[in-house]
């Protein structure tokens, strides 16, 4: 079965994420158990749609990209927070690259997807240092969540 647009989108984001944070793993879904730090999870966020013409619809989709870098009690003297600042900069730099804005990582994905609007993708915001409950355990994990804006267009056939 071929990937649907949203699965492809999350895989492409994952390829750029692992380039930004060396040694990280990217998962194309939100919930995970047993992943090794640092790791990414990705989930679809809200979308807005608008008609550009009778046959063209534009969708502005968000992908919520979570980077998890450790347990809350790990490196208690601020090392995790310092590392997170470096990671945040690296992610913005990676997604500001002109190829990344077209969801091209240069290795696995060498052409932009047909569904991508010429405006491409951009990181709209991040949460800064954040804590995430690990639902399978009694502890929190530390990381950051980025909101990626993805511009998609669809044509409607007569």
Read off the CATH number of the domain in which 143 is found.
Answer: 3.30.70.1700
**pLDDT band per the 50, 70, 90 thresholds, residue 78:** low
Range of the domain at 57: 5-155
Q: How many CA atoms lie within 13 A of 86 on its CB side?
A: 10
pLDDT in tens, 26-63: 998 887 777 899 999 999 999 988 877 777 788 899 99
43 forms bridges with which residues in the sheet? 64
pLDDT at 135: 67
Q: How many CA atoms lie within 13 A of 34 on its CB side?
A: 0
Q: What is the value of pTM for the model shown?
A: 0.89
Number of domains composing the chain: 1
Q: How many CA atoms lie within 13 A of 85 on its CB side?
A: 4
Closest C-alpha among 121, 83, 127 to residue 105: 121
Write down the mean pLDDT value for the chain.
88
pLDDT in tens, 84-97: 989 999 999 999 99
**pLDDT band per the 50, 70, 90 thresholds, residue 156:** confident
**Environment class of residue 45 by beta-carbon count within 10 Å: exposed (0-12), middle (13-18) or buried (19+)?**
middle
Closest C-alpha among 149, 8, 150, 146 to residue 66: 146
């Amino acid at each position: 079965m071929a990937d649907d647009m949203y699965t492809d989108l999350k895989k492409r984001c994952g390829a750029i994420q692992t380039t930004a944070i060396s040694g990280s793993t990217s998962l194309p879904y939100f919930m995970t158990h047993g992943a090794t730090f640092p790791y990414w999870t990705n989930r679809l966020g809200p979308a807005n749609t608008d008609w550009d013409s009778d046959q063209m619809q534009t969708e502005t989709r968000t992908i919520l990209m979570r980077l998890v870098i450790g347990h809350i009690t790990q490196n208690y003297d601020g090392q995790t927070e310092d590392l997170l600042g470096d990671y945040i900069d690296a992610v913005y730099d990676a997604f500001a690259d002109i190829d990344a804005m077209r969801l091209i990582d240069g290795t696995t994905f060498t052409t932009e997807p047909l569904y991508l609007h010429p405006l491409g993708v951009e990181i709209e915001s991040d949460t800064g240092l954040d804590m995430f409950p690990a639902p399978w355990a009694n502890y929190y994990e530390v990381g950051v969540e980025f909101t990626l804006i993805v511009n998609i267009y669809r044509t409607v056939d007569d």
